[in-house]
Amino acid sequence: MTLYVATNNAHKLEEIRSAMPGIDIRCPGDAGLDFDFPEDEDSFLGNSTGKALALWQLLGAPVLADDSGLCVDALDGRPGVLSARYGSRDGSPLLESNERNALLVDEMAGKADRRCRFVCCMSLVVSADRVFAVQETCEGLLLEKPRGAGGFGYDPIVFLPDLGRSVAELSPAEKNRVSHRGRAIVRMAAILESLERLA
């Protein structure tokens, strides 16, 4: 099965490929498309499904899309759906990951409630009327300073109490087992497997 993923993010593509070894995972560029979608919905589900439908309309082939981010309880769920653009003003360049992390740590200074979670919503569009979605989380605590050199994005500032390490201190295999995206991929892989059986 060939599955297009609505992203140009090499990290996301690698995570999905490693978790779905039997599927030919491709990105929009493989079809000669310079695909971009304005993730302007107010929910992960809205952004994920909208992105998948937009690419499906261009390709007419099965499409997988995700929207993910970090939600911090003490900040009323911010950065949330704005995680990738957090701290950037309209029209200004996006902040680098370390700059966003520093901004978030500064905003949380002195706050006792450090609870946060990564959220990932994945949407699969097989046809205009066959749309599937799953949403998963990875619960953690926001650190006061970064730890670890692995992963990407907010990984260095999210501590996982059950493992005693930040997400950036996990091996890729460990991260795939416990991360929001890893959990969502497992559920989506089961849906894909069932669709292939019923085809």
Please state the domain extents for the chain. 2-198
67 noted as active-site residue: yes
User: Radius of gyration over alpha carbons of the chain, in Å?
Assistant: 17
Q: Which of 42, 66, 67, 113 is catalytic?
A: 67
**Is domain 2-198 given the CATH code 3.10.580.10 in the classification?**
no
Say what the pLDDT of residue 199 is.
58
Say what the pLDDT of residue 30 is.
92
- Cβ atoms of residues 154 and 70 within 8 Å: yes
Please state, in angstroms and rounded to a whole number, the distance separating the CA atoms of residues 99 and 105.
10
Blockwise average pLDDT, block size 10, the chain, 199 residues: 90 82 91 90 96 96 96 97 89 88 96 97 95 98 95 94 96 90 92 80
Within 8 A by CB and 6+ apart from 10, the residues are: none
Say what the pLDDT of residue 176 is.
84
Say what the pLDDT of residue 89 is.
80
Please state, in angstroms and rounded to a whole number, the distance separating the CA atoms of residues 120 and 50.
15
Other Cβ atoms less than 10 A from the Cβ of 24: the count is: 11
- Interhelix angle 10-19/180-198, rounded to 10 degrees, is 50
Task: For residue 73, give Cα distances in angstroms to 13, 14, 90, 120, 197.
Answer: 29, 30, 25, 16, 41
- Cβ atoms of residues 189 and 19 within 8 Å: yes
Other Cβ atoms less than 10 A from the Cβ of 22: the count is: 9
Residue with tokens 């992390």: 101
